[in-house]
Amino acid sequence: MKPKTIKDEIVDFESNLQKVRDFLVELPKLRNHLKEELKLLEDERQDLLHYAELGRFNACEGFKIAKDIQEVQLKRRDVKDLLELVQLTCNKIEGKYNTNLLNEALGEIRKASNYRRNRTYRTRIREDLKDKINTGNKNRLTKTT
Protein backbone atom coordinates (compact mmCIF):
# COMPACT_ATOMS: atom_id res chain seq x y z
CA MET A 1 0.00 0.00 0.00
CA LYS A 2 1.32 3.39 -1.01
CA PRO A 3 1.95 5.78 1.92
CA LYS A 4 -0.21 8.89 2.10
CA THR A 5 1.21 12.14 0.87
CA ILE A 6 0.85 15.44 2.71
CA LYS A 7 -1.62 16.47 0.01
CA ASP A 8 -3.72 13.37 0.80
CA GLU A 9 -3.54 14.19 4.52
CA ILE A 10 -4.83 17.72 3.87
CA VAL A 11 -7.77 16.39 1.85
CA ASP A 12 -8.47 13.77 4.56
CA PHE A 13 -8.32 16.42 7.28
CA GLU A 14 -11.02 18.53 5.62
CA SER A 15 -13.13 15.46 4.89
CA ASN A 16 -12.82 14.16 8.46
CA LEU A 17 -13.75 17.52 9.98
CA GLN A 18 -16.81 17.62 7.74
CA LYS A 19 -17.78 14.10 8.89
CA VAL A 20 -17.44 15.16 12.54
CA ARG A 21 -19.61 18.22 11.92
CA ASP A 22 -22.22 16.14 10.05
CA PHE A 23 -22.23 13.51 12.81
CA LEU A 24 -22.77 16.12 15.51
CA VAL A 25 -25.57 17.76 13.53
CA GLU A 26 -27.32 14.45 12.78
CA LEU A 27 -27.02 12.93 16.27
CA PRO A 28 -30.02 14.75 17.84
CA LYS A 29 -32.09 13.95 14.74
CA LEU A 30 -31.17 10.27 15.06
CA ARG A 31 -32.11 10.33 18.74
CA ASN A 32 -35.55 11.77 17.90
CA HIS A 33 -36.07 9.26 15.10
CA LEU A 34 -35.18 6.36 17.41
CA LYS A 35 -37.56 7.63 20.10
CA GLU A 36 -40.38 7.76 17.54
CA GLU A 37 -39.50 4.28 16.27
CA LEU A 38 -39.47 2.94 19.83
CA LYS A 39 -42.92 4.45 20.50
CA LEU A 40 -44.33 2.82 17.35
CA LEU A 41 -42.88 -0.58 18.29
CA GLU A 42 -44.24 -0.30 21.82
CA ASP A 43 -47.69 0.57 20.45
CA GLU A 44 -47.52 -2.40 18.06
CA ARG A 45 -46.50 -4.66 20.94
CA GLN A 46 -49.46 -3.42 22.99
CA ASP A 47 -51.83 -4.16 20.09
CA LEU A 48 -50.48 -7.71 19.84
CA LEU A 49 -50.65 -8.27 23.61
CA HIS A 50 -54.23 -7.02 23.74
CA TYR A 51 -55.17 -9.28 20.86
CA ALA A 52 -53.55 -12.22 22.69
CA GLU A 53 -55.45 -11.27 25.85
CA LEU A 54 -58.85 -10.41 24.42
CA GLY A 55 -59.05 -12.03 21.00
CA ARG A 56 -60.33 -15.44 20.00
CA PHE A 57 -58.00 -17.56 17.90
CA ASN A 58 -56.95 -21.13 17.27
CA ALA A 59 -53.53 -22.68 18.05
CA CYS A 60 -52.09 -21.81 14.63
CA GLU A 61 -53.18 -18.19 14.98
CA GLY A 62 -51.84 -18.14 18.55
CA PHE A 63 -48.45 -19.31 17.32
CA LYS A 64 -48.50 -16.53 14.67
CA ILE A 65 -49.29 -13.95 17.39
CA ALA A 66 -46.41 -15.26 19.52
CA LYS A 67 -44.01 -15.01 16.56
CA ASP A 68 -45.24 -11.46 15.81
CA ILE A 69 -44.69 -10.47 19.46
CA GLN A 70 -41.21 -11.99 19.35
CA GLU A 71 -40.34 -10.14 16.14
CA VAL A 72 -41.55 -6.81 17.52
CA GLN A 73 -39.67 -7.40 20.78
CA LEU A 74 -36.41 -8.10 18.92
CA LYS A 75 -36.78 -4.95 16.81
CA ARG A 76 -37.63 -2.96 19.93
CA ARG A 77 -34.53 -4.27 21.73
CA ASP A 78 -32.29 -3.26 18.79
CA VAL A 79 -33.80 0.24 18.75
CA LYS A 80 -33.44 0.59 22.53
CA ASP A 81 -29.80 -0.54 22.40
CA LEU A 82 -28.92 2.00 19.70
CA LEU A 83 -30.95 4.72 21.43
CA GLU A 84 -29.00 4.10 24.62
CA LEU A 85 -25.69 4.66 22.81
CA VAL A 86 -26.97 7.75 21.04
CA GLN A 87 -28.45 9.15 24.26
CA LEU A 88 -25.20 8.60 26.19
CA THR A 89 -23.29 10.41 23.46
CA CYS A 90 -25.80 13.27 23.29
CA ASN A 91 -25.66 13.71 27.06
CA LYS A 92 -21.87 14.04 26.96
CA ILE A 93 -21.60 16.46 24.04
CA GLU A 94 -24.74 18.61 24.23
CA GLY A 95 -23.79 22.21 24.76
CA LYS A 96 -20.09 21.43 24.41
CA TYR A 97 -19.71 22.04 20.72
CA ASN A 98 -20.83 24.76 18.38
CA THR A 99 -21.87 23.82 14.86
CA ASN A 100 -21.33 27.38 13.69
CA LEU A 101 -17.70 27.23 14.81
CA LEU A 102 -17.23 23.93 12.96
CA ASN A 103 -18.81 25.47 9.85
CA GLU A 104 -16.48 28.48 10.15
CA ALA A 105 -13.47 26.18 10.52
CA LEU A 106 -14.53 24.22 7.45
CA GLY A 107 -14.98 27.44 5.48
CA GLU A 108 -11.53 28.65 6.49
CA ILE A 109 -9.98 25.30 5.60
CA ARG A 110 -11.61 25.37 2.18
CA LYS A 111 -10.49 28.95 1.67
CA ALA A 112 -6.91 28.03 2.62
CA SER A 113 -7.01 24.98 0.32
CA ASN A 114 -8.27 27.17 -2.50
CA TYR A 115 -5.51 29.67 -1.85
CA ARG A 116 -2.88 26.92 -1.92
CA ARG A 117 -4.16 25.66 -5.27
CA ASN A 118 -4.14 29.13 -6.82
CA ARG A 119 -1.11 30.75 -5.24
CA THR A 120 1.76 31.98 -7.35
CA TYR A 121 5.27 33.07 -6.59
CA ARG A 122 6.27 36.65 -7.35
CA THR A 123 9.87 36.77 -8.42
CA ARG A 124 12.03 39.35 -6.74
CA ILE A 125 14.82 39.75 -9.24
CA ARG A 126 14.67 37.08 -11.95
CA GLU A 127 11.56 37.97 -13.96
CA ASP A 128 12.65 35.46 -16.62
CA LEU A 129 11.87 32.61 -14.12
CA LYS A 130 8.37 33.80 -13.19
CA ASP A 131 6.42 31.78 -15.75
CA LYS A 132 8.58 28.69 -15.30
CA ILE A 133 8.18 28.73 -11.51
CA ASN A 134 4.44 29.29 -11.52
CA THR A 135 3.75 26.70 -14.21
CA GLY A 136 5.69 24.07 -12.27
CA ASN A 137 4.07 25.17 -9.03
CA LYS A 138 0.55 24.82 -10.52
CA ASN A 139 1.27 21.24 -11.55
CA ARG A 140 2.67 20.37 -8.12
CA LEU A 141 -0.17 21.95 -6.15
CA THR A 142 -3.06 20.71 -8.28
CA LYS A 143 -5.40 18.67 -6.12
CA THR A 144 -5.59 15.01 -7.12
CA THR A 145 -8.40 12.76 -5.97
Question: Tens digits of per-residue pLDDT, 59-88?
Answer: 999 999 999 999 999 999 999 999 999 999
Whether residue 58 lies inside any domain: the answer is yes
Residue 35 inside a domain? The answer is yes
CA 86 – CA 116 distance, rounded (Å) = 38
Under a CB-based contact definition with an 8 Å cutoff, are residues 113 and 130 in contact?
no
Q: What pLDDT is recorded for position 138? A: 54
Q: Is 135 inside a domain boundary?
A: no
- 98-119: pLDDT as tens digits: 778 888 888 888 888 777 777 7
CA distance 128 to 59: 95
Residue 17 lies in a domain: yes
Structural domain boundaries enclosing 53: 8-105
| Three-state DSSP class for residue 64 | helix
Q: What is the pLDDT of residue 136?
A: 58
- What is the number of structural domains in the chain? 1
Residue 127 placed within a domain: no
